[in-house]
Amino acid sequence: MRDLSRDKSLLAINSATVKPWTLEQLVKGCKRAGITAIAPWRDIVQAVGIDKAGAMIRGAGLTVSCLCRAGLFPAADEAGRRAALDDNRRAVDEAAAIGAGSLVLIAGGLPKGSKDLAGAHEQVRDGLAALLPHARDAGVPLAIEPLHPMYAADRACVNTLAHANDLCDELGEGVGVAVDVYHVWWDPDLPRQIKRAGKRILTYHVCDWLVPTKDLLLDRGMPGDGVIDLRAIRRMVEATGYDGIIDVEIFSAQDWWKREPNQVLRICLERHQTVV
């Protein structure tokens, strides 16, 4: 495995980790800390406008590992599906404007009032297929991120790396996967599916699973504070040839979001070098 102990260039800070920082604060904070890569969410990019955002990031000499996030394809009617596709096309344009390495997509859950999981899966596949030509033209790879099964109904009905790999097999060039340890660490098929994903791994995200977890969305742990074997999963990912950046993405309303963001950055860097 790669030696992370002295190489800050392999760390990206996801903007969710240092909420409520703006894009400008994220850029300046990472520069001060000597961190050379970021993974912004769309809201802070949109807040300043994509042209200004791109210029700000390039001017600071930062790499954008990925843009978070788009997707959310299933809808109850055709108008809703068209609106989702339009928003996803805008997300592709935003990713291209800031030079993102990929655009992270989550599937979306069941449409309101629906129990048709198979139908939601079809809508996800069809939405990706419709978006793909625009993404290819823009040179933006689409990274399908499977989410933990607890989110199947409301956030993402693609819940395993196997399902994401199946979609990649079907859709072909321009589609890959985002591996987030929070969502996949529990899967007994993970080693085989990471190996299967291979070069299609576009982005790799780390945090930790706390025991007990007090909130299934907003209580992620800092790497090293939970039960995920981070070294083992990184070993699997890097065995595929993955040599990209590792994003620290932590949703933590009761802990890390209450701390001073510069302190959070320092701890992220220390854990990246000693735990991840």
Per-residue pLDDT reduced to its tens digit, 150-177? 999 999 999 999 999 999 999 999 999 9
Question: Could you give all domains of the chain from N- to C-terminal order, each with its CATH number?
Answer: 8-274 (3.20.20.150)
User: What does the block give as tokens for 267?
Assistant: 């701890």
What's the CA gap between 191 and 194, in Å, rounded?
A: 5
Whether 6 has a pLDDT exceeding 90, the answer reads no
Instruction: Quote the DSSP letter at residue 169.
Output: H
Work out the pLDDT band at 273, boundaries 50, 70, 90: very high
Strand, coil or helix: 54: helix
In single-letter form, the type of residue at position 43 comes to D
Please tell me the number of Cα atoms within 13 Å of 106 on its side-chain side.
18
Task: Give the strand order in the sheet containing 246-248.
Answer: 63-64, 37-39, 11-14, 246-248, 201-206, 175-180, 142-144, 103-106, 67-71
pTM score, whole prediction: 0.98
Give, for 12, the enclosing helix (H) or strand (E): strand 11-14
Work out the pLDDT band at 22, boundaries 50, 70, 90: very high
ω into 111 cis (within 30 of 0) = no
Which residue shows structure tokens 């800390």?
A: 33
- Rounded to the nearest integer, the mean pLDDT of the chain is 98
What average pLDDT does the segment 199-219 reach?
Answer: 97
